[in-house]
């Protein structure tokens, strides 16, 4: 590890980026990333074997009194006899077909794919020289990240990797509170190490504070992913905002951006909770979105399943129409959507996940020009439905109507997207009416033509002070896209 740390310092010393916020502020979000708009997130690992509750099973099965604890004892026996590590031989991934996954993601209209390389449980889904607890040496005995990266790139999909390793500091710590297979002595290289006491997740100074040994291990693990797989995007989960991690985040960003400069590429880091200085990476909103348009580019990560990021037998799946409306809303506000699927332990993708992706792909095949490579308009939209802003709000049902519109622009056209089709085929877009622009910045352009994407008809339309009135024979419950030519 010490040799790798020296390499990291050397790359930072000779590259254009130094490990300071001042230097990293020269970073600019690349245009290629801004154009993609829709990606796939993948939570797949040992936790898909018990397939119970959610992907935090490895933590919760060691917390006495939780449903996971009780389920584990009843199903597998006491934790001292059957611990989390004993699921590894059961994680065989015998039906994992990376080419089939990549084909499904491409057909869904996704433009980038970010698999979880290492989740909080500490099991690496890739070949590693840092730890033997990885999918290449154990379980399926396959380099999952490497194989999937190759298959996705073959279809023109951009690829990334997600690291949740920092949370492993405390994730297995509750196992020390009773007689289980998690106990001292523990040292670096052990699967459960360090299994420290869990504090307040939002306390930036919570104790026990992650040690230099643990954080250097985190840094080297992440840089190994960068060097071995050259991801275009690195996604970090939330706990990296802890004060102890900050110096290592700067090192990681400088190393990654400098490596990308060596490759002649531009790359992206996703982060949450102001873990990075604003402007040095791309902010992410977990399971939620913004209520208004932002002047900076951002990302939402959410899942097809409401209750879990991984596959479980009790997943509650969102309808594809709701997911599409989220995509449209996010893109209109200068964002991109990273949508998660949770494969089963055998490597198959559930029918519910696959169906949602196929239905999204069918819509994007017709209407993708209003999403991909688009820019924001003067306003993101109009209509009565209000968005609840913030994280973990995706469970709040948004009852969009045919009066709710979202706007994007591309190639000299304005796209007005009705969030739900009207029953009678009539629409009124108030923002495009004949308006006084002598004092306020109202739209005062000339509309030449209106088309409905996916329809051969020429809809009838007219303008007055109330708005742009459009009448079409098209009927749908999904978002309907009007392509408007403006002089």
Instruction: Give the span between the Cα atoms of 110 and 36, in whole angstroms.
Output: 8
Per DSSP, the chain holds a count of helices (H) and strands (E) of 12, 16
Alpha helices in 128-245 (DSSP H): 144-154, 168-171, 212-229
Q: Where in the chain is the domain with CATH 2.60.40.1180?
A: 381-486
Q: Does the pLDDT at position 441 exceed 90?
A: no
381-486 placed in CATH 2.60.40.1180: yes
**pLDDT (tens digit, 9 = 90+) per residue, 85-141?**
999 999 999 999 999 999 999 999 999 999 999 999 999 999 999 999 999 999 999
**pLDDT (tens digit, 9 = 90+) per residue, 29-59?**
999 999 999 999 999 999 999 999 999 999 9
Task: State how far the alpha carbon of 227 is from the alpha carbons of 32, 115, 220, in Å.
Answer: 21, 16, 10
Alpha helices in 212-319 (DSSP H): 212-229, 246-263
Task: State how far the alpha carbon of 201 is from the alpha carbons of 207, 231, 242, in Å.
Answer: 10, 28, 9
pLDDT mean over 157-167? 98
Instruction: State yes or no: cis peptide before 194, omega within 30 of 0.
Output: yes
Length of the chain: 487
CA atoms within 13 A on the CB side of 23: 15
pLDDT at 221: 98
- Nearest-CA neighbor of 93 among 53, 134, 58, 57? 134
Instruction: State yes or no: cis peptide before 244, omega within 30 of 0.
Output: no
The verdict on pTM exceeding 0.95 is yes
281 pLDDT tier (thresholds 50, 70, 90):
very high
The answer to whether 77 and 179 have CB atoms below 8 angstroms apart is no
**pLDDT (tens digit, 9 = 90+) per residue, 233-258?**
999 999 999 999 999 999 999 999 99
Find all residues with CB under 8 Å of 458, minimum gap 6, and list them. Answer: 451
Question: What's 166's DSSP letter?
Answer: G
Supply 230's token pair. Answer: 């050259």
pLDDT at 439: 87
The secondary structure element, H or E, covering residue 123 is: none
φ/ψ bin of 133: left (φ > 0), alpha (ψ from -120 to 50), beta (otherwise) = beta
pLDDT mean over 194-218? 97
Q: Does the pLDDT at position 433 exceed 90?
A: yes
Rounded to 10°, the helix 2-14/212-229 angle is 70
Cβ-based neighbour number of residue 386 at 10 Å: 9
Question: What's 157's DSSP letter?
Answer: -
**pLDDT (tens digit, 9 = 90+) per residue, 114-129?**
999 999 999 999 999 9
| Residue ranges of E strands in 334-384 | 335-341, 381-382
pLDDT at 53: 98
The answer to whether 97 and 347 have CB atoms below 8 angstroms apart is yes
Question: What's 155's DSSP letter?
Answer: T
Dihedral sign for Cα 166, 167, 168, 170, please.
positive
**pLDDT (tens digit, 9 = 90+) per residue, 449-471?**
999 999 999 999 999 999 999 99
**pLDDT (tens digit, 9 = 90+) per residue, 346-390?**
999 999 999 999 999 999 999 999 999 999 999 999 999 999 999
Instruction: Give the span between the Cα atoms of 46 and 36, in whole angstroms.
Output: 30
Instruction: Give the span between the Cα atoms of 423 and 71, in whole angstroms.
Output: 48
pLDDT at 1: 86
Give the whole-number percent of the chain exceeding pLDDT 90. 99
Instruction: Give 124's strand partners.
Output: 118, 134
Instruction: Give the span between the Cα atoms of 95 and 122, in whole angstroms.
Output: 23
Mean pLDDT for the chain overall: 97
Domain 2-286 sits in CATH at 3.20.20.80
Instruction: Give 336's strand partners.
Output: 299
The answer to whether 166 and 271 have CB atoms below 8 angstroms apart is no
- Nearest-CA neighbor of 401 among 461, 324, 479, 467? 479
Q: Where in the chain is the domain with CATH 3.20.20.80?
A: 2-286
484 pLDDT tier (thresholds 50, 70, 90):
very high
């Amino acid at each position: 590890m010490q040799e790798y740390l020296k390499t990291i310092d050397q790359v930072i010393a000779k590259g254009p980026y130094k490990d300071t916020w001042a230097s990293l502020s020269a970073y600019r979000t690349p245009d290629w990333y801004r154009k993609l708009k829709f990606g796939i997130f993948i939570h797949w690992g040992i936790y898909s074997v018990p397939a119970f509750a959610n992907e935090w099973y490895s933590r919760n099965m060691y917390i006495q009194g939780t449903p996971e604890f009780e389920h584990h004892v009843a199903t597998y026996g006491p934790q001292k006899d059957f611990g989390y590590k004993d699921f590894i031989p059961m994680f065989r991934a015998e039906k994992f077909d990376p080419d089939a996954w990549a084909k499904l993601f491409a057909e869904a209209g996704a433009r980038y794919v970010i698999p979880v390389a290492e989740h909080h449980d500490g099991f690496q889904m890739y070949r590693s020289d840092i730890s033997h607890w990885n999918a290449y040496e154990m379980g399926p005995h396959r380099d999952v990240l490497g194989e999937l990266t190759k298959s996705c790139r073959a279809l023109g999909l951009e690829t990334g990797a997600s690291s949740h390793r920092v949370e492993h500091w405390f994730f297995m710590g509750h196992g020390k509170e009773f007689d289980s297979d998690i106990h001292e002595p523990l040292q670096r290289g052990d699967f459960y190490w360090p299994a420290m006491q869990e504090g307040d997740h939002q306390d930036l100074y919570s104790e026990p504070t992650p040690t230099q040994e643990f954080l250097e291990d985190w840094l080297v693990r992440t840089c190994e992913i960068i060097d071995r797989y050259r991801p275009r995007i690195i996604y970090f989960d939330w706990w990296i905002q802890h004060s102890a991690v900050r110096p290592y985040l700067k090192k990681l960003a400088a190393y990654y951006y400098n490596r990308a400069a060596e490759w002649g590429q531009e790359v992206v880091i996703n982060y949450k909770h102001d873990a990075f200085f604003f402007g040095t990476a791309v902010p992410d909103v977990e399971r939620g979105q913004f209520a208004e348009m932002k002047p900076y580019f951002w990302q939402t990560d959410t899942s097809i399943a409401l209750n879990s990021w991984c596959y479980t037998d009790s997943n509650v799946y969102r309808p594809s129409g709701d997911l599409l409306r989220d995509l449209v809303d996010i893109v209109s506000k200068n964002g991109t959507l990273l949508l998660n699927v949770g494969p089963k332990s055998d490597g198959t993708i559930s029918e519910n996940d696959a169906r949602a992706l196929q239905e999204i792909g069918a819509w994007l095949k017709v209407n993708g020009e209003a999403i991909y490579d688009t820019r924001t308009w003067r306003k993101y939209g109009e209509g009565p439905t209000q968005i609840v802003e913030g994280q973990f709000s995706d469970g709040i049902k948004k009852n969009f109507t045919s009066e709710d519109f979202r706007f994007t622009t591309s190639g000299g056209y304005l796209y007005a997207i009705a969030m739900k089709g009207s029953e009678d085929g009539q629409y009124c877009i108030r923002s495009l009416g004949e308006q006084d622009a002598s004092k306020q910045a109202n739209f005062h352009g000339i509309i030449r033509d209106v088309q409905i994407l996916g329809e051969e008809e020429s809809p009838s339309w007219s303008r007055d002070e109330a708005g742009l009135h459009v009448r079409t024979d098209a009927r749908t419950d999904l978002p309907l896209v009007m392509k408007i030519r403006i002089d």
